Amino acid sequence: MFTTRPEIAGTFGVVASTHWIASSVGMSVLERGGNAFDAAAATAFTLQVAEPHLNGPGGDAPIILHDARTGTQLVICGQGVAPQTATLAKFRDLDIDLIPATGLLPAVVPGAFDAWCLLLRDWGTWELADVLAYAIGYANRGIHIVPRISATIEGVRRLFEQEWTSSAAVFLPRGKVPEPNSLFARPTLGATYERICREAVGSTREARIDAARNAWYRGFVAEAVDCFFRATDVLDVTGHHHRGLLVAEDFAGWSATVEDPVAYDYAGHTVLKCGPWSQGPVFLQQLALLREFDIADMDPCGADFVHLVVECAKLAYADREAFYGDPNFVPVPLGTLLSADYNEARRALIGPTASQALRPGAVDGHTPWVDHDAAGRADMVPAAGTGEPTVARLGVIGADTCHIDVIDRHGNMVSATPSGGWLQSSPVIPELGFCMGTRGQMFWLRDGLPNTLAPGKRPRTTLSPSFALRDGKPWMAFGTPGGEQQDQWALIYFLRMVHHGMTIQQAIDAPSFHTEHWPSSFWPRAARPGKVVLEGRFDDAVQSELAARGHQVSKGEDWSEGRLSGARIEPDGQMFAGANPRGMQGYAVGR
C-alpha cells in the first residue's frame, strides 16, 4: 500500500526540509564546520528564495531546539504581534467582522528574521553574512522554480497586473508568469540582505548579529514598511482598498523570545510543542485522549484507526478553539487540558459513530465559546484551481508552509516551521523585494475570547514544529506544513512509528488523512463538520466503513496528504532522516 524506501542515514549530520536546494544548503553548512543552528538558519533563509509561495522574509518562524551542550530543549517564538493600532474598534469603524486574508490589514510584525538571528547569535557559530550568503546568491543569480510556484503566480496574475503592481514587478518578469523549472532571480531581495550584512557592524559576532537585527527592526526595513503602509491603498479580500496598520514603532517594540516548550509523556516518549499561542498543544491533547486505547493492535491504515484518531482530533481542536490564545494576554488552562481526569471525561465522549458536534470541554473559571456558524461560510472558500474571475482578482488562493529538521555531529537538533509572507499574501514592498505576512487573519473580532485581537498580541498560529525524546533522551525533530492539518498529519506519523514500528520514511509514505470538522484558522474561518479526507491509496472498504459510521468521507489523489519530514538520532549516534515524496520537493540528506 505504501513504499518502503530507506531512510537517509549518517553519523556526521542530517538535514530534512521541504525543498531539495535548501536541504543541500544545510548539509553544506554542516560539512563546512557549522553546527545545527547555523545550518537551520541558512536553510531557512534559502527557503525564502526557493519557496516564496510558502514563506518569505516577512513571515513567522516558531523553532524548537535541543542544545547538546546543556542537554536542554527550548522554544524560540518567531511569531510577531499585532500593531498597536489594531483594535476591535478600528475594524468596527471599517465595517469588517472577519480580518481579511490578504492585503495590509492582517499584517503583523514579521518574526522570522529576529527568530533566526536569535538562534544564530546564542547557539550558532557562524557570522550572519556567511549564513545569508546562500540566500543572497540564489536571489541574485536565480533559482529553478518548481511548478507550484508558477501555478501560484498564475492564480494571482490578474491581481498583480491590475492592483498589486509592485508584486507584478517582481513575480511577473517581462510581464509573464515564470515557466516551471526556469531560472528566477530576486535581485531586490538580494540587495536587501546585502545591505543587512553591510550594516551588521560590531566588535564581536554577537554584536554584528544584533546590529543586523537593529537594521531590520529599527532601521531601513522597518522604515520602508512604514512608508509603504502609510501611503498605499491596497485591494484585499473584502473587495475594498485599505491602508495598513503596521508602523515602524511596532517593529521597534518587538523581539523574538525564548521560552520552555509544553511537554507530554506518552508510551516512553516525551513530546514537546510550542505554547498555546500556537496550536501545538492539540498534538499533546490528542495523545492524552489516545493513551488508553490499544493502538498497536489496530491496522494503521484501517477504519478503526482512522475513526479513533479523527474523533480525538475533534475534541482536542474544539478545545483549541475555546481556550487557546497568547498566554501573555489570557490565562490558558493547559494543566487541566492535559490532565488525566479531564481527558478521562473527554474520552468517554468517543463512540462508535462520528460526532457531528463541536464540543469543547468544561474548565472551571472559563466560559468556552466556539463558532457554530463556521459551516455556513464553507461556500466562501474557492475550490483549488477553479480560476473563478472574482477570486483571481481578489487573490484568494491557498497558501502553505515550510519545515526544517537538522541534527549535527554534536547532537544539537532543530525543528522549525517557517511560514507567512507568501507572495500571494500582500503586495511587495518595492524597496525591499518582499511582502508582509498576514497572520493577523487568525484573530477573532469578537470581544472576550482567548484569541480576540488586541494590540501587541500574538495571533494563535497554526505553525507547529514537533520534537520528541525517547526514554528521556533527545530523539526526533519532525513536522509538516499544512495549516490545520499540521497536528493531524504529524500525530499520525508519530503514532505509526511508536505503535507500529515504522521507520521515518515508512511513516511519511504511508497514506494519511485529515478532518475539517472545526473552524479553519484562515479566512473565512469555515468548517466542514464531519468531513474526513482520505489519501487515494486507502482501500475502498475503509472509505465505506467510515461512511457507515457517519463520517462525510472523500478521497484525494494517491499522494496528496502531508508534507512531513523528520530526523532522529539513536543511542549509538547514528542519525536518520526522511522527507516527503508528495509534490516532489521535500528532501533529506545526510553524511
pLDDT digits (tens, 9 = 90+) for 59-112: 999 999 999 999 999 999 999 999 999 999 999 999 999 999 999 999 999 999
Whether the per-residue pLDDT at 227 is higher than 70: the answer is yes
Whether the per-residue pLDDT at 389 is higher than 90: the answer is no
Spatial separation of the C-alpha atoms in residues 379 and 553, rounded to whole Å: 18
Supply the pLDDT for residue 397: 54
**Cβ(306)–Cβ(495) below 8 Å:** no
What DSSP designation does 379 have?
G
Which whole-number Å values give the CA distances from 463 to 53, 63, 333, in the listed order? 16, 10, 20
66: left (phi over 0), alpha (psi -120 to 50) or beta: beta
Whether the per-residue pLDDT at 5 is higher than 90: the answer is no
- Specify the residue for cell string 499574501: 425
- Specify the residue for cell string 510556484: 149
Which residue in 250, 287, 216, 316 sits closest to 81, CA to CA? 250
Alpha carbon 506 to its chain centroid, in Å, reads 23
Supply the pLDDT for residue 2: 54
Whether the per-residue pLDDT at 559 is higher than 60: the answer is yes
* Average confidence (pLDDT) over 135-146: 96
pLDDT above 90 coverage of the chain, percent: 92
β-bridge pairing 552-555 and 531-534? parallel
Cβ atoms within 10 Å, residue 59: 31
Spatial separation of the C-alpha atoms in residues 407 and 538, rounded to whole Å: 33
* Three-state SS annotation for 83-115: CCCCCHHHHHHCCCCCCCCCCCCCCCCCCHHHH
* Average confidence (pLDDT) over 254-267: 98
Supply the pLDDT for residue 392: 35
Supply the pLDDT for residue 378: 83
* Average confidence (pLDDT) over 426-442: 97
Spans of all domains in the chain: 278-377+463-573
| Phi and psi angles of residue 306, each rounded to the nearest 5 degrees, phi first | -60, -45
Alpha helices in 107-252 (DSSP H): 112-123, 128-141, 147-155, 157-162, 165-171, 187-199, 205-217, 220-231, 248-252
Chain segment 465-485, per-residue pLDDT in tens: 999 999 999 999 999 999 999
Supply the pLDDT for residue 520: 96
Supply the pLDDT for residue 380: 76
Supply the pLDDT for residue 583: 81
Whether the per-residue pLDDT at 381 is higher than 80: the answer is no
Chain segment 12-70, per-residue pLDDT in tens: 999 999 888 999 999 999 999 999 999 999 999 999 999 999 999 999 999 999 999 99
Which residue in 562, 544, 564 sits closest to 553, CA to CA? 544
Q: How confident is the model at residue 3 (pLDDT cuts 50, 70, 90)?
A: low
Supply the pLDDT for residue 20: 87
pLDDT above 70 coverage of the chain, percent: 96
Which whole-number Å values give the CA distances from 45 to 133, 440, 512, in the listed order? 9, 23, 30
* Average confidence (pLDDT) over 430-457: 98
Angle, CA 346 vertex, CA 345 and CA 350 arms, to 5°: 115
Spatial separation of the C-alpha atoms in residues 186 and 426, rounded to whole Å: 17
CATH architecture group of domain 278-377+463-573: Orthogonal Bundle (1.10)
Helix, strand, or coil here: 63? strand
- Specify the residue for cell string 497572520: 439
Cβ atoms within 10 Å, residue 583: 15
**Cβ(186)–Cβ(448) below 8 Å:** no
Q: How confident is the model at residue 393 (pLDDT cuts 50, 70, 90)?
A: very low
Tell me the β-bridge partners of 73: 66
Q: How confident is the model at residue 4 (pLDDT cuts 50, 70, 90)?
A: low
Q: How confident is the model at residue 390 (pLDDT cuts 50, 70, 90)?
A: very low
Whether the per-residue pLDDT at 396 is higher than 80: the answer is no
Supply the pLDDT for residue 8: 82
Spatial separation of the C-alpha atoms in residues 366 and 333, rounded to whole Å: 9
* Average confidence (pLDDT) over 492-508: 97
Q: How confident is the model at residue 192 (pLDDT cuts 50, 70, 90)?
A: very high
pTM comes to 0.96
Q: What is the mean pLDDT of the chain?
A: 94
Supply the pLDDT for residue 398: 59
**Cβ(457)–Cβ(82) below 8 Å:** yes
